[in-house]
Structure 1
Amino acid sequence: MNTTSTTTIPQNKTIIAWLLLCLLATMWGSSFLIMKKALVAFTPIQIGALRIMSAGLVFLPWLISRRKEYPKEKTRYFVASGFLGYLLPAFLFAWAGTRVNSSLIGALNSVTPLFVLIVGALFFQQIIKRWQVIGLVLGFVGSIVLILSASKDGLSFNNPYALLVVLSALMYGFNVNITGKHLKTINPVLLSAWTLCSVAILAGVLLFSTDFLTRINSGTITPLLLVILLGAINSGIAAIIFNYILQIASPVFASSVTYLIPVVATLMGFIDGEPISFLHYFGMSIILVGVYLINKK
């Protein structure tokens, strides 16, 4: 395996990249729990569609004011990124949430960096270092340890709905590489705007073709607001942060955020009153070592 570096982060941006990675993990780490709470009032299709439509609306002012700067030659990449990175995973995660607990979804999602690595090597001529492979494996192992220590049922693939999460991770693998190769030079805010808005209209059509409006009542206001915030913040604002990390770091480093998501879920559980065992600390330590190796110069 070639040992030429492709993930070295400029020294003056290293701290920024790590801080943003932790912020992104916090935002995305809460997404699964929010979706689970919203499923009591809305269907997976409605949650996914409302999430993406809300994210698109956040960027509407930028879309209108900077419409003359739109790079038409990048349209196919915006659409591909919109579908693979946002719209389809939003539906798949919400659907998986009906049969898979949120902590297990977070663990399964941690295979994303592996797909980023594999897809990048096979289709995008990405060159990786040996210790990055070790870091990716350690991060995945650490995620499994966290789930085995938190779930009564352990990690089981008997539930076919778990495959929906793995499929989403594969889509993320393609999206990260597409963005990193073809859209990296575009302003993060505009990139997020054009990408999300490319699928937001379709999401809106799907949403209002269901019984969404008839489900809104005094008892569903809280789940409704949660999904809107999920779209605006956890998808919209988070997209800007993720795209910026891609620009100052690398696809593999940016995707390593999925290894930190189970850590966030564990800490959130602790704040909510759940105990933390030695295995939790052990799993989190393995993850942090893995992420360090991924970013090692």
Structure 2
Amino acid sequence: MPKIKTKKPVSQEFIAWAILLFLSVIWGLSFLFIKKIVVEFTPIEVGAARVFLAGVFLLPWAYRGLKNIPREKLTWVGLSGLLGNFIPAFVYAKVGSQLNSSLAGTLNSTTPIFVMIIGALFFAASIKRFQVIGILLGFAGSLLLVLSGNDGKLNFANPYAILAMAGTMMYGFNVNIISKYLKNVKPLYLTSVAFLIVGLMAFCVLPFTDFFSKLIDPANRKLVVYMFCLAGINTSLALVVFNYLLQKTTPVFASSVTYLIPIVAVIAGLFDGELVSVWHYAGMGITLIGVYLINRK
């Protein structure tokens, strides 16, 4: 009898890399969406709406999440939502109103550096010798990016680039919190409950802005579509997938999505007519070499 060929099961490693690639595209494009939206909406409106709408998208799973997540873990879920979603949403909306999307996306590549440093300082993670070199290189490249302006010249007073790195530092705390305290919480429950908490906070901000009047203005129809994509796909869906990846791999591997985010952000920026200078490429290259060393086994 002829042998029946059976399909080989898809390896966990392949799935992990596929998810990493998916996230890099989704998050790489989010910086371009933000740049488009802040033309009409203020950074506060964008940040609050992004978090609130993401919470609405995830609301059907929040009730079941509240029933299944142990009460003692809810504080960590709320802290994860605050540091991983709520505050960075406002930070990157402000950054997106001042910096090219390619530069903002590239600065996001510092996340694994902060994951490693914060893990060592506060979560008893170990750092190897070559990872120390990676951290130093990463900061050197990040410094070059911080000094790189939108006009292709070095700018020694670029507070918005520093603000972007403050956002990645919060991501570093969030990744370590999830890895240590929320490892066994289902990603969908974790994300939906976190956004239930911070989504209510964001909703309290919106009535003090002109968001709702701008939302129903026919002239903003395309921007509203961008806003819903940013909240529904680039935020809620992407974070569910990211939390799954984080629980199935390691904090450093999951945060390595920032390897590819800058590439997507730069390509998107080039198509949108942004100037990418030699300083941007140099800073990105040095930073990514540092991130590679941090992730090296």
TM-score interval, smaller chain: 0.7 to 0.9
How much has 1:32 moved relative to structure 2? 1.2
Answering whether residue 270 of structure 2 is matched by residue 257 of structure 1, we say no
**Aligned residue-pair number:** 287
Q: Percent identity?
A: 48
Match for 1:73: what amino acid?
E
How much has 1:159 moved relative to structure 2? 2.3
Match for 1:261: what amino acid?
I
Q: Would the aligned equivalents of 1:143 and 1:262 in 2 still touch at CA under 8 Å?
A: no
**Structure 1 179/233 Cα, relative in aligned 2: closer, same or farther at 3 Å?**
same
Question: What CA deviation, in whole Å up to 9, does each residue of 1:5-34 have, x standing for no partner?
Answer: xxxxxx942222222112111111111111
Aligned to 1:225: 225
C-alpha RMSD over aligned residues: 3.0
How much has 1:193 moved relative to structure 2? 1.0
Question: Aligned partners of 2:245 and 2:135: how far apart in 1?
Answer: 18
Match for 2:249: what amino acid?
A
Aligned to 2:117: 118
Aligned to 2:77: 78
Q: Would the aligned equivalents of 1:25 and 1:257 in 2 still touch at CA under 8 Å?
A: yes
Question: Aligned partners of 1:13 and 1:150: how far apart in 2?
Answer: 41
How much has 1:65 moved relative to structure 2? 3.8
Aligned to 1:36: 35
Question: Aligned partners of 2:135 and 2:178: how far apart in 1?
Answer: 20
Q: What SS does structure 2 have at the residue aligned with 1:161?
A: helix
Aligned to 1:175: 174
For residues 257-276 of structure 1, what are the structure 2 equivalents within 5 Å?
Answer: 257-271=257-271
**Structure 1 116/265 Cα, relative in aligned 2: closer, same or farther at 3 Å?**
same
Q: Would the aligned equivalents of 2:147 and 2:158 in 1 still touch at CA under 8 Å?
A: no
Aligned to 2:196: 197
Gaps of 5+ in 2: 1-9
Match for 1:240: what amino acid?
V
Aligned to 1:61: 60
How much has 1:42 moved relative to structure 2? 0.9
Question: Aligned partners of 2:182 and 2:20: how far apart in 1?
Answer: 19
Question: Aligned partners of 2:100 and 2:274: how far apart in 1?
Answer: 15
For residues 102-113 of structure 1, what are the structure 2 equivalents within 5 Å?
Answer: 102-113=101-112
Answering whether residue 128 of structure 2 is matched by residue 162 of structure 1, we say no
Q: Would the aligned equivalents of 1:34 and 1:226 in 2 still touch at CA under 8 Å?
A: yes
How much has 1:138 moved relative to structure 2? 5.6
How much has 1:131 moved relative to structure 2? 3.4
Aligned to 1:235: 235
Match for 1:204: what amino acid?
F
Gaps of 5+ in 1: 1-10
Question: Aligned partners of 2:159 and 2:291: how far apart in 1?
Answer: 29
